[in-house]
Structure 1
Amino acid sequence: MRDDEENQELPQKGTRSRSFLWRAFGALVFAGSVVFGTLILDTLPKMQRQLLGPLGPDALALTVLDRDGDEIANRGGRYAPIVPLNEMPDNLVLAVLSTEDRRFYEHFGFDVFGIGRAIVANLSAGGVVQGGSTITQQLAKNLYLGSERTFWRKAQEAVITVWLEYTYTKEDILTLYLNRIYMGAGAYGFEAASQHYFDKSVREVNLAEAALLAGLIKAPSRFAPTNDLSRAQRRAEIVLSTLVENGVLTEGETFAARVTPATIIKRAPRQGSQYFVDWIASEVAEILPGMTGQLIIETTLDPVQQAAGELSIADAIAERAANLPEDVDEPPTQGALVSMDPDGALRAMVGGRDYLESQFNRTFQAERQPGSAFKPFVYLAALENGLTPESRVSDRPISVNGWSPQNNGRFRGNVSLLTSMKYSINTVAVRLSEQVGRLEVIDAAERLGITSPLASHPSIALGTEEVTLLDLTSSYAVFANGGFRAKPYGIRRILNPDGDILFEQQSLATRVVAPGAARSMNYLLYQVILGGTGSNADIGGRPAAGKTGTSQEARDIWFVGYTADQVAGVWFGHDNASPMVNAEGGGLSATTWASFMKSVHEGTPIADLAGGKPAPVRRAQPRATGEESSVATGPQPEIHRFYVSLSNLFREAHRKQLNPGPGFRRGGETISR
């Protein structure tokens, strides 16, 4: 009875085992289906979108050109329009197929023989010396996938490979491959690589050049001829040998290419220009927000002026380091320079001593105290409120809200605006600012181009509010061009690879200063260089105007000036804003400015600067007496006809409506230089 029961239980156990196996198999099939479905849904929908353009849907690449049309830099990769397969040289296509995928036209995305051959070669060598990936696999890997090595990525590569082979013809796949594969030096595709390395279309390459290009695919960064030309040529020799071994070409057909290997064009390094390129990239983002694809940026940068600016800053920093006392321990001196046309077109931008050392651009990212270089805004406000260069004001001690500015020297009594600008007298600047109103000074600064927030406190007249070198230089351009806003710009045009213009700079001349006031400012600032604090900025017979600036404890030293043709600003200081020893704007900054301006004006005709002329010799005027002389006075008595006529010449228009400045920030005393 017990045996019968046991016999009855045996079939039940077998049934349960088979049922469990079927359930397990079904679960595995379900899980596999889910994984496969996820793989398909995660991979294939992206494919068609990726094929829409050479950069993908979210990428932006910039090719930046100087004013002569030469490339300054490439950001985000080098790309070129698609070159059809039938326009590629036969030798180039054969070289690629021989080295990368001999059985390309015979397999369906995976070359079993190639994989086996690679395994044998790698085992024999004891390392990886040969790959088994087909061109289709490489296209899938390089075009759609990242560089991570995971099972999921290999599975995606297989899916994409099958999808490519099923969706496109062999000719389509090869065309995509030749136009998208990475070729070193930031170049994607054979056309972009040929343009970069040989300065010609891939359609025109000879056999030696084709072999060099085909050899890059294996390791584009390692074999890039810009990194090591000899290594690239040795790799090209291997490609030529492979063509012969595979029976594609004969020894005779490759002889010339072996004897005369390919060379590349030499491109001068443009490291210093990268500060300008960074600025241009930020401008592109503002002009075309959210833009993707390949853009060609035609800029205003002058390579001659850029080189002169870099040399002037480097020489000045080296000279200062050589002349520092041995017991002085200072941080490295930094310097910056901006040069532009009077309309605001940037010609040179030096953002620091070494771009590789620091990418911080001190021309527009650093806000520093300009010192007396801010005073022209004070004098402009005074001129716009009815004063003239000959109006007189008291140079005597003054106290505003308990603060008393100091001069760099004695008090001179009653002086003209011309004299006070020439010698950068602090008390006069503060007295003028208080007389016309600080908000008038702020309004003048903002109208001319200062974008930093300016607080209305007494020391604003002495340049204690921080500004950028770019803003300050463009503000001085208003005087050079006769009174028009000179918003700095570096982009002339933005184009796509097809030549369509996406943006073009428009000349918008907005008058912000009356012609008479602009001439008067030129007259005042001309005297600064002629025989005042900026005499070291003299450039030898060419009319020039400008102003020195030295902030408290010489933490910043400036010189900003201009001719009729060019405007330039120079700044030196420490990044941590620590004081500099034996430094002033009328010294290092002025001499650096003069060196640069002499260089960029060499060979150009001398142009007159409106209002830029020496002041006539004057008879001594009676000194002001008493507290009532602490304000500016009008023109002198009628008997002095000469002074009256000069006053009429510089008489100004009505003052502008007040425009209070945003933000408040306190500053300290500024020493005039």
Structure 2
Amino acid sequence: MASAPPKPRSRARRILVAALKISLYSFIVMTIAVGVAVAVAVNQLPSYGELVRRDDLGQMVRVRAADGTVIHTMGPSFGEWLPYSDIPPIMRDAMVSVEDRRFRSHFGIDPIGIVRAFYVRIRSGAWAQGGSTITQQLARNIFLSNDRSWIRKIREGILAMALEWRYTKDQILELYLNRVYFGGGAYGIDAASRRFFGHRATELSTGEAAIIAGLVKAPSNYSPTADQDAARGRAGVVLDLMVENETITRGEAAAANPRQIEFARSTERHTSLRYFVDWVLPQLDMLIDETIQPLDVWTTINVGMQGLAEQSLNANAPRGAQGAMITLDRDGAVRAMVGGRDYVNSSYNRVTQATRQPGSSFKLFVYLTALESGYRPDSIVQDAPITVGGWSPRNDNGRNVGAVPLRVAFAYSINTVAVRLARESGTRAVADMAQRFGITTRINPHPAMALGSSEVRVIDMARAYAAVQRGGIGVTPYGIRRVTTADGTLLYQHQDDETRVLVQPWVAQQMTELLAGVVSNGTGRAADLGRPTAGKTGTTSSNKDGWFIGFSSGLTTAVWMGRDDNRALPGLAGGRAPARAFHDFMVRAVAHRPVEQFPTDAEAPDWPTGDNEEIFFAPPEDGPLVDIDGMPIEETPPADDEYDPYRRDAARPEDAVPVDEFEEKLFY
């Protein structure tokens, strides 16, 4: 009996079988394709050593103050690269708990996590939970962009599996923790730890590790620099996950209380530091060639002095006035630089960029030239009317007192004397002296230049006065002490040059004596620090600019005040607001420095001056040379040991110079 033919399969069953076969074949083909893609990716992966470098993130430059404090970071911020063994276990556990709890068991992608992400998507209608593993995140951070296309996700998965094939789990976690972005410009856990807590990542506590681990999800939202409360709240979620994963106990989580974590204070608490930073950073191109490795720029700035300078300038500047202040140490190191009253509103640096008339502070160069040519502080000079090329400068009080010692003429900033000295020495010689001392702007050698009519920069004037304090040795302002790579390799070291002798020591010492007289008896009395102090006031025509530049105990400080539009400021004078700002700053800046007496040991050459050494040069325009008593040089003044012609309590008051006639408001 013949067997019955088999029943034909139903159409539905045939379709199901065909679909299963197609799916199986497709899975096999896809698996082979993925395998090939992963194999190709593995062969193209860089070595582990190459991945340790973070050049692809851009060059990081950290600017440090004199005490090593980081005051500014440009580009990405990197800390030390921590090998896996140096990463605190609590940090590793925190990151795995919050970002990828099955990190140790998956092969680069987590199928369970992907299924959960799709399930949440179906239920909520939105992608509320990501399925990316730590390895996928690492692949994206190193090799891919952050776009949300499916092509990018596929490439991310292939690269993640390639990374798992090529490197160990420990290596992957090490790469991740040293490269991931945590907000605030910080890449890697060490940079984040230093940025947010002020110490190395090797010292992280449980609570601090939880805060850092919680930042990866949304650095811009949870970063302590953006929202400290949000960072602490997110850390609480991380601690709960760590308890759930049994990496810490509930008691340890409670003890880690993120609400009690103290964050590091911002190192950029003085916005005026940006004036200094903006000045030094462009100099790197001239000092070093390194453009890839992270750099540490070790500067001269003293953060404490910077704060004092900012405070003193703003407290004393008249309403409507701008201001600038710079302080140099004896070798030219910039200790403070305030280029304006508010960097946020104006980043224009009035210390290094602005050119303004210096007024009588420019007389420094007139008197340096005179001293070098043979004048002495006790030389007799004439305060008498003078006309040069149709120009007749006058003194503020409109009066002339005749013959006065050089020291008195300088202390009270007598204009006619300065013009006469410049004319006698030669205005070209005075301009050359200014340029010798570091004035970089053009000095027009017309007669009015003696009274400060040519524009200068504040930093140049500070440099010139600092050279006088240094005994006539040239001073070059500098802000960078050294430059190193992040691992400490030295790329540049500043070298002080003490060989540039601008004037002989005796000239500098006699100039210092004149400058000290300005503070003790003349127009700069408001700047007196209660210790040896020297300086000079300056006020320009119509009170457009006010200056005080001086030095004490190794520090030289220049102060300028005025308006950017060059309009007049009634009442502005160098001996008032600028001198007070100098005093308020310097009295605290030098408080812990030794009191230094001005040197007087350098001997001037024995210049031939005639029989009467008290009568020297400087005849009036017309008539014979006279001494302090108005006597012709042929006559000898009466000897009187107690007679001091420029002392208030002179033995012969009727002959004393009327010092009250010379006040601080100047014409040029």
Q: With structure 2 as the length reference, what TM-score do the two structures score?
A: 0.79
Note the C-alpha offset of 1:333: 1.8
The structure with higher relative contact order (CA 8 Å, sep 6+) is: 1
1:173 alignment partner in structure 2: 172
Alignment of 1:412-431 (within 5 A): 412-431=401-420
1:491 alignment partner in structure 2: 480
Higher mean C-alpha deviation, range 501-510 or range 104-113: 104-113
Picking from 524, 527, 535, the partner of 2:517 is 527
- For the 8 Å contact 1:100–1:135, the answer to whether it is kept is yes
- For the 8 Å contact 1:374–1:462, the answer to whether it is kept is yes
Say if 2:494 is the partner of 1:505: yes
1:566 alignment partner in structure 2: 555
Higher mean C-alpha deviation, range 508-517 or range 142-151: 142-151
Picking from 583, 589, 592, the partner of 1:594 is 583
2:466 alignment partner in structure 1: 477
Note the C-alpha offset of 1:558: 0.6
2:22 alignment partner in structure 1: none
Say if 2:219 is the partner of 1:229: no
Higher mean C-alpha deviation, range 208-217 or range 384-393: 384-393
- For the 8 Å contact 1:394–1:632, the answer to whether it is kept is no
- For the 8 Å contact 1:414–1:623, the answer to whether it is kept is no
2:652 alignment partner in structure 1: none
Note the C-alpha offset of 1:340: 1.9
2:335 alignment partner in structure 1: 347
Note the C-alpha offset of 1:375: 1.0
Higher mean C-alpha deviation, range 563-572 or range 85-94: 85-94
Picking from 365, 368, 382, the partner of 1:377 is 365
1:536 alignment partner in structure 2: 526
Query: How far apart are the structure 2 equivalents of 1:291 and 1:571?
Result: 37
CA distance 1:257–1:623, change in 2 (3 Å): closer
Give the match's secondary structure for 2:422.
Answer: helix
Aligned AA (1:300): T
1:32 alignment partner in structure 2: none
1:447 alignment partner in structure 2: 436
2:276 alignment partner in structure 1: 276
Picking from 333, 340, 358, the partner of 2:321 is 333
2:622 alignment partner in structure 1: 627
Aligned AA (1:56): D
Say if 2:509 is the partner of 1:514: no
Query: How far apart are the structure 1 equivalents of 2:258 and 2:369?
Result: 74
Note the C-alpha offset of 1:175: 1.5
Q: What are structure 2's unaligned runs of at least 5 residues?
A: 1-36, 602-612, 641-664
Aligned AA (1:263): E
1:197 alignment partner in structure 2: 196
Query: How far apart are the structure 2 equivalents of 1:256 and 1:625?
Result: 87
Query: How far apart are the structure 1 equivalents of 2:433 and 2:330?
Result: 18
Give the match's secondary structure for 1:60.
Answer: coil
Query: How far apart are the structure 1 equivalents of 2:620 and 2:284?
Result: 59
CA distance 1:482–1:632, change in 2 (3 Å): farther
The one-character-per-residue Cα deviations of 1:513-550 (angstroms, maximum 9, x if unpaired) are 1011001101111121122221222223x121111111
CA distance 1:168–1:535, change in 2 (3 Å): same
Give the match's secondary structure for 1:296.
Answer: strand
The one-character-per-residue Cα deviations of 1:324-381 (angstroms, maximum 9, x if unpaired) are xxxxxxxx32111111222212222222212222222221122211111111011111
Give the match's secondary structure for 2:400.
Answer: coil
- For the 8 Å contact 1:209–1:261, the answer to whether it is kept is no
2:542 alignment partner in structure 1: 553
Query: How far apart are the structure 2 equivalents of 1:671 and 1:289?
Result: 49
CA distance 1:637–1:199, change in 2 (3 Å): farther
1:328 alignment partner in structure 2: none
What is the Cα-based RMSD across aligned positions, in Å? 3.7
Query: How far apart are the structure 1 equivalents of 2:251 and 2:229?
Result: 23
- For the 8 Å contact 2:526–2:576, the answer to whether it is kept is yes
1:60 alignment partner in structure 2: 59
1:459 alignment partner in structure 2: 448
CA distance 1:286–1:49, change in 2 (3 Å): farther
Query: How far apart are the structure 1 equivalents of 2:622 and 2:425?
Result: 18
Note the C-alpha offset of 1:282: 2.8
2:355 alignment partner in structure 1: 367
Query: How far apart are the structure 2 equivalents of 1:631 and 1:113?
Result: 106
CA distance 1:230–1:382, change in 2 (3 Å): same
Higher mean C-alpha deviation, range 105-114 or range 492-501: 105-114
Note the C-alpha offset of 1:418: 2.2
Query: How far apart are the structure 2 equivalents of 1:127 and 1:468?
Result: 61
Q: What are structure 1's unaligned runs of at least 5 residues?
A: 1-36, 322-331, 613-617, 644-669
Query: How far apart are the structure 2 equivalents of 1:263 and 1:254?
Result: 17
- For the 8 Å contact 2:375–2:616, the answer to whether it is kept is no
Note the C-alpha offset of 1:249: 4.5
- For the 8 Å contact 1:198–1:264, the answer to whether it is kept is yes
Aligned AA (2:234): R
Say if 2:93 is the partner of 1:98: no
Say if 2:595 is the partner of 1:606: yes
- For the 8 Å contact 1:191–1:202, the answer to whether it is kept is yes
The one-character-per-residue Cα deviations of 1:195-230 (angstroms, maximum 9, x if unpaired) are 232333323323222211110111123212243333
Query: How far apart are the structure 1 equivalents of 2:615 and 2:372?
Result: 26
2:568 alignment partner in structure 1: 579
Query: How far apart are the structure 1 equivalents of 2:566 and 2:158?
Result: 58
CA distance 1:454–1:153, change in 2 (3 Å): farther
1:245 alignment partner in structure 2: 244
Note the C-alpha offset of 1:585: 0.9
Identity of aligned residues (%): 39
CA distance 1:632–1:551, change in 2 (3 Å): farther
CA distance 1:642–1:591, change in 2 (3 Å): farther
2:650 alignment partner in structure 1: none
CA distance 1:544–1:262, change in 2 (3 Å): closer
Q: Which of structures 1 and 2 has the bigger CA Rg?
A: 2
Higher mean C-alpha deviation, range 409-418 or range 75-84: 409-418
CA distance 1:182–1:421, change in 2 (3 Å): same
Higher mean C-alpha deviation, range 183-192 or range 130-139: 130-139
Aligned AA (1:361): N
Aligned AA (1:448): F
Note the C-alpha offset of 1:389: 2.6
The one-character-per-residue Cα deviations of 1:411-470 (angstroms, maximum 9, x if unpaired) are 333444323212212232223223222221122112212222333333222212222211
Query: How far apart are the structure 2 equivalents of 1:587 and 1:480?
Result: 23
1:315 alignment partner in structure 2: 315
- For the 8 Å contact 1:494–1:502, the answer to whether it is kept is yes
Query: How far apart are the structure 1 equivalents of 2:184 and 2:380?
Result: 64
Give the match's secondary structure for 2:78.
Answer: coil
Note the C-alpha offset of 1:610: 2.4
Higher mean C-alpha deviation, range 466-475 or range 69-78: 69-78
Picking from 337, 357, 375, the partner of 2:345 is 357
- For the 8 Å contact 1:391–1:632, the answer to whether it is kept is no
Note the C-alpha offset of 1:251: 3.2
Query: How far apart are the structure 2 equivalents of 1:133 and 1:641?
Result: 101
Q: How many residues are paired up?
A: 588
Give the match's secondary structure for 2:576.
Answer: helix
The one-character-per-residue Cα deviations of 1:52-86 (angstroms, maximum 9, x if unpaired) are 632438x3323233233333232223212211123
Query: How far apart are the structure 1 equivalents of 2:409 and 2:258?
Result: 75
- For the 8 Å contact 2:380–2:617, the answer to whether it is kept is no
- For the 8 Å contact 2:379–2:617, the answer to whether it is kept is no
Aligned AA (1:307): G
CA distance 1:631–1:226, change in 2 (3 Å): farther
The one-character-per-residue Cα deviations of 1:369-407 (angstroms, maximum 9, x if unpaired) are 111111101111122222223334443444444444333
CA distance 1:552–1:501, change in 2 (3 Å): same
- For the 8 Å contact 1:529–1:545, the answer to whether it is kept is yes
Aligned AA (1:539): L
CA distance 1:198–1:437, change in 2 (3 Å): same
